[in-house]
């Protein structure tokens, strides 16, 4: 009983924390919109906010695209919220993250992102690094005075930190579950988290692994399961208020797609290549064209994996943010209209949020399933062909 009430309490606490974070976010947005918060020209705004004309000008400057892409894009610090005191500039409250830069000319530099925040410059020996925010979609650390200099930025950004959190969660949960199978004989009934994991694992094994990979499924199950859980947990973490848009980043999806492409190629059999370069049952004159198409399709497969996940998750984030931003768009016209639109906007946002919960699981499943299908095609035996066709 005690344990249950504690769990309930924890859940309540988590929920209230989420509500609080959400409210803080909303309030920040609202304040920003009201005051026409614009970091680039704070002096104009802060000097005479009471002036009706200036306020109107400020409202017009609400750049929804900038707000949305600011949340979608990766960042060198984890922005939580902004505080605006009466008569002062808006000060963002953000968690500074480590910046790691390798410059072939200057070597490795590691420093806190607070050193380059708010337009500051960081002097690392011979060069000075600044944060280039000229692009509305992506910020970038560049060498001052030489923006095209080649540097390798391997900073622990917001996305990387979010991913590291997901990795810790994955390892803690799954290693704990895995230990139970080592300790006891396998016949023992599952308990707690193990129950939930087993449902997912068995589903992936029986609905993805076995149909796509036949009797060799056991070799690929660890990869498929890791892909699924890795994407899923990151999709869910991305949905938390203040969370990073990790799986909606092309670098992440390209990395995952590249890995599955490597696995597909590394395990491919002779049969796969012979089909690719010498498609059977095709008139000779058509073969060159077909081979070309086959080769293109070979590379399109991982590209599709990459873009599908990236676009789905990013689109979800954009839609939720856009729905919330609508409050401020309407508030820019009239404060009362904006306030009146809050329930509508929140209702739509909640709907989208729930939909994104579903999409998060579905996209993880699709990535995993398509990887299995592509591996299945590449490891296909000449004998198993008919069987596979029948399955498909």
Partner 1 sequence: MDLLTPEFGLFFWTLLAFLTVFFILRKFAWKPILKGLGDREKGIADSIATAERIKQEMAEFKSENEKLLAQAREERTLMLREAKDAKDKIIGDAKEQAKIEANKIIIDAQQQIQQQKMAALTEVKNEIGNLALEVAEKILRKQLNNSEGQEMYMKMLAEDIKLN
Q: What secondary structure, in 3-state letters, does 310-367 show? A: HHHHHHHHHHHHHHHHHHHHHHHHCHHHHHHHHHHHHHHHHHHHHHHHHHHHHHHHHH
Site string for partner 1, 289-318 (x = CB under 8 A): -------------------------x----
Collapsing DSSP to helix, strand or coil, 147 comes out as coil
Collapsing DSSP to helix, strand or coil, 101 comes out as strand
Site size toward partner 1 (CB under 8 A) is 55
Binding partner 1 (rule: CB under 8 A), the pick from 15, 181, 299, 351 is 181
From residue 362, give the alpha-carbon distance in Å to each of 66, 178, 232, 308, 366.
29, 24, 9, 11, 6
Contact yes or no for 238/154 (Cβ under 8 A): no
Sign of CA dihedral 231, 234, 240, 244: negative
Which of 384, 378, 385, 197 has its CA nearest to residue 281?
385
Q: Does 154 bind partner 1 (CB under 8 A)?
A: yes
**In which order are the strands placed within the sheet that holds 98-103?**
107-112, 98-103, 152-153
Contact yes or no for 247/235 (Cβ under 8 A): yes
Q: Which residues pair with 129 in a beta bridge?
A: 122, 143
From residue 333, give the alpha-carbon distance in Å to each of 116, 327, 391.
35, 10, 58
Smaller CB separation from partner 1, 40 or 206: 206
Q: Does 130 bind partner 1 (CB under 8 A)?
A: no
Binding partner 1 (rule: CB under 8 A), the pick from 80, 117, 156, 304 is 156
Smaller CB separation from partner 1, 89 or 132: 132
Binding partner 1 (rule: CB under 8 A), the pick from 31, 46, 240, 259 is 259
Contact yes or no for 380/269 (Cβ under 8 A): yes
Tell me, what DSSP letter sits at residue 31?
Answer: H
Binding partner 1 (rule: CB under 8 A), the pick from 87, 104, 145, 186 is 186
Q: Does 123 bind partner 1 (CB under 8 A)?
A: no
Rounded to a whole number of angstroms, the minimum distance from the CB of residue 327 to partner 1 is 25
Rounded to a whole number of angstroms, the minimum distance from the CB of residue 323 to partner 1 is 20
Rounded to a whole number of angstroms, the minimum distance from the CB of residue 331 to partner 1 is 27
Contact yes or no for 317/71 (Cβ under 8 A): yes
Smaller CB separation from partner 1, 31 or 170: 170
Binding partner 1 (rule: CB under 8 A), the pick from 163, 208, 327, 368 is 163
Collapsing DSSP to helix, strand or coil, 223 comes out as helix
Smaller CB separation from partner 1, 11 or 176: 176
Q: Does 218 bind partner 1 (CB under 8 A)?
A: yes
Site string for partner 1, 53-72 (x = CB under 8 A): ----------------x--x
Q: Which stretch binds partner 1 (CB under 8 A): 50-58, 164-172, 332-340, 380-388?
A: 164-172
Q: Which stretch binds partner 1 (CB under 8 A): 54-62, 122-130, 244-252, 355-363?
A: 244-252
- Residues 6 or more apart whose Cβ sits within 8 Å of residue 178: none
Rounded to a whole number of angstroms, the minimum distance from the CB of residue 390 to partner 1 is 25
Q: Which stretch binds partner 1 (CB under 8 A): 12-20, 183-191, 235-243, 377-385?
A: 183-191
Q: Does 195 bind partner 1 (CB under 8 A)?
A: no
Q: Which residue has the tokens 């919960």?
A: 357
Q: Which residues bind partner 1 (CB under 8 A)?
A: 69, 72-74, 100, 135, 137-138, 152-157, 159-160, 163-164, 167, 170-171, 174-175, 177-182, 185-188, 197-198, 201-202, 205, 218, 221-223, 225-226, 229-230, 249-252, 254-256, 259, 314
């Amino acid at each position: 009983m005690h344990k249950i009430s504690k769990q309930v309490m924890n859940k309540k606490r988590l929920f209230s924390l989420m509500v609080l974070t959400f409210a803080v976010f909303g309030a920040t947005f609202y304040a920003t919109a009201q005051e026409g918060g614009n970091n680039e020209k704070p002096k104009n705004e802060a000097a005479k906010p009471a002036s009706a004309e200036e306020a109107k000008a400020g409202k017009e400057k609400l750049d929804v695209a900038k707000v949305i892409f600011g949340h979608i894009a990766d960042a060198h610090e984890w922005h939580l919220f902004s505080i605006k005191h009466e008569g002062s500039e808006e000060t963002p409250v953000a968690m500074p993250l480590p910046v790691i830069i390798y410059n072939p000319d200057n070597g490795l530099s590691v420093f806190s992102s607070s050193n380059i925040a708010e337009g500051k410059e960081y002097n690392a020996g011979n060069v000075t690094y600044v944060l280039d925010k000229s692009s509305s979609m992506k910020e970038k650390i560049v060498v001052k005075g030489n923006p095209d200099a080649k540097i390798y930025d391997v900073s622990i950004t917001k996305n990387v930190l979010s991913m590291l959190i997901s990795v810790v969660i994955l390892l803690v949960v799954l290693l704990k579950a895995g230990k139970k199978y080592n300790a006891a004989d396998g016949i023992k009934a599952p308990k707690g988290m193990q129950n939930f994991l087993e449902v997912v694992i068995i589903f992936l094994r029986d609905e993805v692994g076995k149909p796509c990979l036949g009797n060799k499924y056991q070799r690929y199950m660890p990869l498929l399961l890791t892909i699924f859980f890795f994407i899923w947990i990151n999709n869910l973490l991305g949905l938390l208020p203040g969370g990073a848009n990790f799986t909606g980043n092309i670098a992440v999806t390209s990395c995952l797609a590249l890995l599955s492409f490597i696995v597909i190629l590394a395990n491919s059999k002779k049969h796969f290549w012979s089909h690719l370069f010498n498609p059977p049952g095709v008139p000779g004159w058509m073969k060159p064209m077909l081979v070309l198409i086959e080769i293109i399709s070979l590379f399109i497969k991982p590209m599709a994996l990459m873009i599908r996940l990236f676009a789905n998750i990013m689109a979800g984030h954009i839609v939720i943010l856009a729905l919330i931003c609508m409050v401020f768009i309407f508030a820019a016209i009239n404060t009362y209209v904006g306030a009146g639109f809050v329930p509508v906007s929140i209702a739509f946002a909640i709907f989208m949020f729930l939909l994104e919960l579903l999409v998060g699981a579905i996209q993880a499943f699709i990535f995993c399933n398509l990887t299995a299908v592509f591996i299945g095609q590449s490891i296909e035996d000449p004998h198993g062909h008919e069987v596979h066709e029948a399955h498909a």
